[in-house]
Chains A and B, each alone.
Chain A
Amino acid sequence: MRRPTRRYSILSLLKEARHGHSGWVEAWRKAEPRSSYDVVIVGAGGHGIATAYYLAKLHGIHNVAVLEKGWLGGGNTARNTGIIRSNYLRRESMALYGLSHSLFEHLSQELDFNVMFTPRGLVELAHTRQELAELSRIADANRHFGIKSWMIPTSEVHSLLPSLDQGSHKRFPLLGALYQPRGGFARHDAVAWAYARMASQLGVDIVENCGVESIIADGERIVGVQTSRGRIDAGTIMVAAAGESPPLLAPLGVNLPIEPVTLQAFVSEPLKPFLNPVVMSGAVHGYISQTAKGELVIGGGTDAYPSHSRRGAWPPIEDTVAAMLELFPFLSRVRLMRHWGGSVDITPDRSPLIGPAGPSGLYVNCGWGTGGFKAIPGSGFVTASMLATGKVPPIAVPFGLERFAAGRMIDESAASGVIH
């Protein structure tokens, strides 16, 4: 009997190739829930699993369960377009997303799983004077914070994007662009699977098909959760369930300012490579990238009303396609292969909610809205520290729930015309 192959490398691939790949083992254990854990995390999306991984890896807390009502990574982790960037406007956001971006740089090595982080560069086009000013503001904010992101003139945009149709004849002529060379994309599913595999190896129980029905408090203290598979006790509970979080917390008197909205995305049929960087455009409203497989991954605005549906409405698709053809008219004969939607959890200032909530021992990490995928490593890193120590790390402090009542919002909506 051969020994199973756990490590991933070209050598293990070669070895397994000789044996018909029969020696690979389960990426993560299909755990059965136990009756009690030190920490219970509600939601096995990227944020929940990453938190569990860092709890086990960096804080020595292994007695952790991640409870998922469906399949691992099946929410917005599986539905987003994989864009990675950190060129945000506000200092608080730059710190958090910057940390995440830097973790992405070595995530494949850290997790022994190639998450295909591909920094092909990210170009955000400015088509009006006002956009130019807004993007310049972000560029300068990035410069002083130390994030490598800057404005480039139209000539440089054209050399990065030779196929872009942006002459002066256009409705919105190109004036310049914000460029982050280390921006790009990663394989969304792979990030969830990679964290799950390592967390599982470190002893974390990932329990799929286990829906949390309610959170149980005993006076001022949290004591456990009631699930579809019975009660599970825990003194520390984190809810990382995106748009499902508010209904879980409402019975405890915690009202999370989150609105669920459907966000759609779509892919074209596979095409030979023609588009190197990720392109985003506010005025025409859409963004586009091309995967290694050749598909164009395209997204735009959210649906126009609150919704928990994963089937979007048709108008946003039409709007986004029209926008893409304005940038790349030759794509007109290319075809849409598949479109889908996810329900994103949007906060009033478009920044996430991280911190303690309600009874002692209860924490939240949600409200990531349309841009949470890129934050998974950073969010997991910071949140794990919060759960392990009971103290909110400085980087997460501004993202607490109390900021709305205090009037200390971290408004990223002002500077993000387009959603990603």
Chain B
Amino acid sequence: MLMIRCPVCGIAADETEFTSGGLYGRLEETENRVIPRDVVREWWLCARGCGTWFGMARHVVNQRVTATWAAGDEPWDGRH
């Protein structure tokens, strides 16, 4: 069970308080992309908290979360 910290409101909670929402980026940028066995950048919603969609980097095999960020505040310069 993931433990996630919302970068917007700061709450840290179980995955059941959040909603997973697909690959990070605008819709047209994420279409037809394959999910690798690696770290993926995804949208997550602080569903039971502040209601904000934010970005999260998670390894889809070992589930390690390496970063979360508010939309528009991406911790990298390029786009995907």
Contacts and interface: CB of A to CB of B under 8 A. Distances in A.
Q: Note whether A and B contact each other (Cβ less than 8 A).
A: yes
A307 B36 contact: no
Contact of A307 (B1, B33, B34, B63): B63
Q: How large is the interface on A (under 10, 10 to 19, 20 to 34, 35 or more residues)?
A: 10 to 19
Interface residues of B, number: 20
Given A260-B60, A314-B1, A315-B1, A306 B15 contact: no
B56 to A, nearest CB: 10
A315 B15 contact: yes
Contact of B60 (A255, A258, A306): A306
Interface string B3-36: 0000000000011100110000000000011111
B61 A250 contact: no
Contacts of B16: 304, 315
Contacts of A250: 34
A260 B35 contact: yes
Q: Counting chain A CB atoms within 10 Å of each CB, which of B2, B14, B19 scores highest?
A: B2
Contact of A255 (B2, B33, B42): B33
B15 A313 contact: yes
Residue with the highest number of chain B CB atoms closer than 10 Å, among A259, A307, A309, A315: A307
Given A246-B35, A247-B37, 20 more contacts: A246-B34, A247-B34, A255-B32, A255-B33, A256-B34, A259-B35, A260-B35, A260-B60, A304-B15, A304-B19, A306-B20, A306-B35, A307-B61, A308-B35, A308-B60, A309-B63, A313-B2, A314-B1, A315-B14, A315-B15
22 contacts: A247-B34, A247-B36, A247-B37, A250-B34, A255-B32, A304-B15, A304-B16, A304-B20, A305-B2, A305-B58, A306-B20, A306-B40, A306-B60, A307-B60, A307-B61, A309-B62, A309-B63, A313-B2, A314-B1, A315-B14, A315-B15, A315-B16
Interface of B: 1-2, 14-16, 19-20, 32-37, 40, 42, 58, 60-63
Which 8 pairs of residues, A with B, have the shortest CB-CB distance? A305-B20, A246-B34, A255-B32, A313-B1, A314-B1, A308-B61, A250-B34, A308-B60
